[in-house]
Structure 1
């Protein structure tokens, strides 16, 4: 039986081989070829099932295709949605952010939204659920009207001049001609200047989308012509959820601790995290566990980091060094251990003020519980001190030729300082103790074998627990301030005109004489006199007095009197300050005035009135008795107010 010719094949010469293409679901192994002379078909050896497509990394395979796939960029999506719906579409956009947060992907999605076209929709739109005519080509970076340029390799004015010459031509098939310039901050100054005019007044069919990681390097003249979007780092919780979803689609078993480590290592970058997940899948041979991820990333065990932190806060140097050596032998780098320790210190400090931070999905249960516990026990001062010491230790470890030894020395310093009081606490403890002991003051008075002037001493000691109370004593401190020691020199006794000082009033008068108003105020308000001797002063400070006041007094008294002085802080309370005496005197006068019958009658007659001050009028005869003398200018002043001789 002869085969009948298919009417659709008329016009073909007999004996020709005709190529037929089947839909992908009906193809069996390759392309079928029909021989017209025999009517038989054969299957060509072509792209069969055994020739699979090359593997695509997860970062490319799961790249967002529309705005609904973008994670962590809701503010930008909301702004673009409102702009497109209202028709207020900008002519240029500037996308900035760290690596891997979706700048280039957002640019392609934006180009797709600008050129979206289907049988039902023919206008720019954010709703891209149904693929449009140009969507596939744009997302693959091969559309003729969406031009992508890498400014890192096209930095000169010639590349920008080519763009300027092409913008005048309308797009070939799409609605807009879109220029996507990545790493735009790497353009030269001449290229930026050449782009300004076109960027300010582009043709109606042209849109510009710029992406950069260094927004500060972009000239302000370019930024002012663009609508700027700052793409944020992705939150760790969103990264964990996204990576879990990707692993599920890939059929990979992965535990929560591994996801948390990968999300933490990604530092807010989706691309970095997916690359790490890809590497972890290959490292684990199809399944991912925490130990494999920790080994791959060279991380320290977070639970052992918490234990190391506890040893440091307890002052257990041996335990801290043992924990460090254990992690170091397991493959964690010294700098990595200190960095993880700093991260946990930051977590504890943050939990102290923001307890909700413990709900971060990237935290392990050990970190969450132990962090909250330490946040309740440790003060902010201690945590800040540990943080500063760790930062210095990390920098020393990174630059040291023996990083392990440098890290151990940093841990020893932290453990040693764990129980030390802060400078503020030490000062408060010293002030509460009443000041330096007479013994310490005597040693600081300059009578020692040093042969020079007196020295300044600060002696800190720990009070041993008294028998049976079982608790450690708080640290106490004895301070003694004196003039700086003189350089070793032969003792020469030269006559010095000394000014006698016997009270605080004398010191105030000296300050007033030398026009040192600041010191006068400090003496009046901050000094409580205990005892005064020639060349030696024992005082107690008022609560609001400056801690540096004793040292300043040493210098000022030496300058004013021409003699060496030592100033010691005493445990005795001392007499009230001059300001306190005046306040007490004023209050006594006001109290006496209220008891006066006439004043009491006035207060009763005028409700709400009060006595604010009491002044005692001087008797006329007292004023007349004052010795008056004229000045050179003809002014008459009391003798004690005569101006100083300018010749002195």
Structure 2
């Protein structure tokens, strides 16, 4: 028997295509949409255009093909009408599923985005069907069309011929113009619930005579995130990986996941603040093949789940979670405070960003674990308040202030000084040297200068009982030099035969201040200095009366 005489074996077909739903009864988790479409077909209220939206792998294109089959199905006897239960045996049903039906055109908007493609579509929409009852256009990923293409489609979409129907599918409904949405009936396809997904995977595994554990199916369901196509593709890979019998450990190794129990151990070590044990456990999981980014994602997922269980205990009844993990999660929710878990959630989100862009993911993950363990030891605000209340107040200084330097004098905006302790100082005050004391800390932007009594000459010391100009109180023995007022306008030096340069840009030069003149500016820094030479650069920013010495 030669090779040409041997029976030809059909090529292998992936599970996602082999078990693709062919009727509305086969759709999983979309009961609301199925009920609406069945009622519309029964009442002969079929819209001119539909738009399907949802995440990947929930059945948007599959639903469009089922609608196309139902509208063109003629039944086994050839006398049937539009139905929601296509027979799958008539010629239109078989050709539509194989993609060879002339009156059902599928357009990929990702590769046909221009106006010319939509113009050709408009011309074909005006022609009569060649084989079926309706001419149906399925536009997948419709949000990829250009603005001009959307505008060219509007008129045909609003008033198509009676024999033409449009079915649009997209994963980005926000990118579709409102003018298009208003001309279509919209159906939002939901994520498939974990219970329905596990049942679907179990039926497929039984049909393929593959042995796979329930825990392995739960891991696949969790990784699929509600997408039936992703779940069936992962199941196909897991069956090949297991070679007949697939366990949960094999699925973890295939997906690069860490053991869920070990991730819970790592979570408890972090919440205890045991950095050494947490780093050891992370290194062991990394040596076992776990991805550091996947470990941090599992930690974030556990943090979210435990937080939700703490608020709503019914959330623990998740079919994708085993009994041991459920018991540990409930115990953690009872022991851990919500403030610590929310703080860990925020830091894990930041750590995921750092690990994803770091040149060495393991190093970034270790640094993230170290930060998490140290933050777990921080006290709560209630504990800090309680500690502050229990701490005795330090004794007052010798001058009545709370500081240890005997208090200091503060210059305020009003131009008068007041004695202050270590607390309660004005934000606009700055410390100056008090008699027998030291400089105290104060803001560097304070405005004001030293004080002297009315009629006092520069260089003279205030006598006992001297008061300042405002009469606010006795003056201290001041030897500090104040700052110039930043609000004072800067004046340029004018002179015959000289360039008009700003005084602060003149070269430093010694300048004599005559002792017989008294400056009328209260904040003049020369008034607190002994009579002598001062830099002209310093005097240059003073008022006019001071520069004309």
Question: Normalized against structure 1, the TM-score is what?
Answer: 0.62
Contiguous gaps of at least 5 residues in structure 1: 1-28, 30-43, 455-478, 501-648
Which residue is equivalent to 1:439? 394
Which residue is equivalent to 2:28? 71
Q: Is the 8 A contact 2:351 2:365 kept in 1?
A: yes
Cα distance change on mapping 1:296 and 1:444 into 2, 3 Å: farther
**Which one of the candidate residues 66, 81, 84 is aligned to 2:38?**
81
Cα distance change on mapping 1:341 and 1:496 into 2, 3 Å: farther
Cα distance change on mapping 1:89 and 1:348 into 2, 3 Å: same
Q: 1:360-399 alignment to 2 at 5 Å?
A: 360-399=318-357
Which residue is equivalent to 2:363? 405
Q: Is the 8 A contact 2:213 2:247 kept in 1?
A: yes
SS of 2:26's equivalent in the other structure is: coil
CA RMSD of aligned residues (A): 2.9
Report deviation, 1:492: 6.1
Per-residue displacement from partner, 1:253-283 (whole Å, max 9, x unpaired)?
1111211111111111111111111112222
**Which one of the candidate residues 24, 39, 59 is aligned to 2:16?**
59
SS of 1:486's equivalent in the other structure is: coil
Which residue is equivalent to 1:109? 66
Q: 1:413-428 alignment to 2 at 5 Å?
A: 413-423=371-381, 425-426=382-383, 428=385
**Residue 275 (1) aligns with residue 216 (2):** no
**Which one of the candidate residues 178, 181, 206 is aligned to 1:220?**
178
Cα distance change on mapping 1:168 and 1:52 into 2, 3 Å: same
Which residue is equivalent to 1:595? none
C-alpha separation between the residues in 2 aligned to 1:153 and 1:440? 79
**Which one of the candidate residues 265, 275, 288 is aligned to 2:223?**
265
Question: Normalized against structure 2, the TM-score is what?
Answer: 0.73
C-alpha separation between the residues in 2 aligned to 1:219 and 1:489? 55
Q: Is the 8 A contact 1:199 1:225 kept in 2?
A: yes
C-alpha separation between the residues in 2 aligned to 1:318 and 1:480? 42
Per-residue displacement from partner, 1:416-445 (whole Å, max 9, x unpaired)?
22242333x2465257x27x6421886994
Per-residue displacement from partner, 1:582-617 (whole Å, max 9, x unpaired)?
xxxxxxxxxxxxxxxxxxxxxxxxxxxxxxxxxxxx
Cα distance change on mapping 1:483 and 1:209 into 2, 3 Å: same
Q: Is the 8 A contact 1:444 1:482 kept in 2?
A: no
Which residue is equivalent to 1:300? 258
**Which one of the candidate residues 29, 53, 57 is aligned to 1:96?**
53
Q: Is the 8 A contact 2:21 2:27 kept in 1?
A: yes
Contiguous gaps of at least 5 residues in structure 2: 412-421, 428-440, 452-467, 474-549
C-alpha separation between the residues in 2 aligned to 1:256 and 1:371? 20
Q: Is the 8 A contact 2:133 2:163 kept in 1?
A: yes
* Residue-pair matches, total: 430
C-alpha separation between the residues in 1 aligned to 2:316 and 2:445? 65
C-alpha separation between the residues in 2 aligned to 1:251 and 1:67? 25
Per-residue displacement from partner, 1:372-408 (whole Å, max 9, x unpaired)?
1111222221211111111111111112223222212
C-alpha separation between the residues in 2 aligned to 1:109 and 1:362? 31
Which residue is equivalent to 1:153? 111
C-alpha separation between the residues in 2 aligned to 1:104 and 1:441? 79
**Higher normalized contact order (CA 8 Å, seq sep 6+, divided by chain length):** 2
Report deviation, 1:286: 2.9
C-alpha separation between the residues in 2 aligned to 1:167 and 1:369? 60
Q: Is the 8 A contact 2:64 2:138 kept in 1?
A: yes
Q: Is the 8 A contact 1:92 1:207 kept in 2?
A: yes
Per-residue displacement from partner, 1:201-225 (whole Å, max 9, x unpaired)?
0011000000111111111100110
C-alpha separation between the residues in 2 aligned to 1:113 and 1:486? 83
Q: Is the 8 A contact 2:88 2:94 kept in 1?
A: no
SS of 1:439's equivalent in the other structure is: coil
When structure 1 is superposed on structure 2, of 231-240 and 203-212 the one drifting more is: 231-240
Q: Is the 8 A contact 1:294 1:300 kept in 2?
A: yes
C-alpha separation between the residues in 1 aligned to 2:24 and 2:170? 20
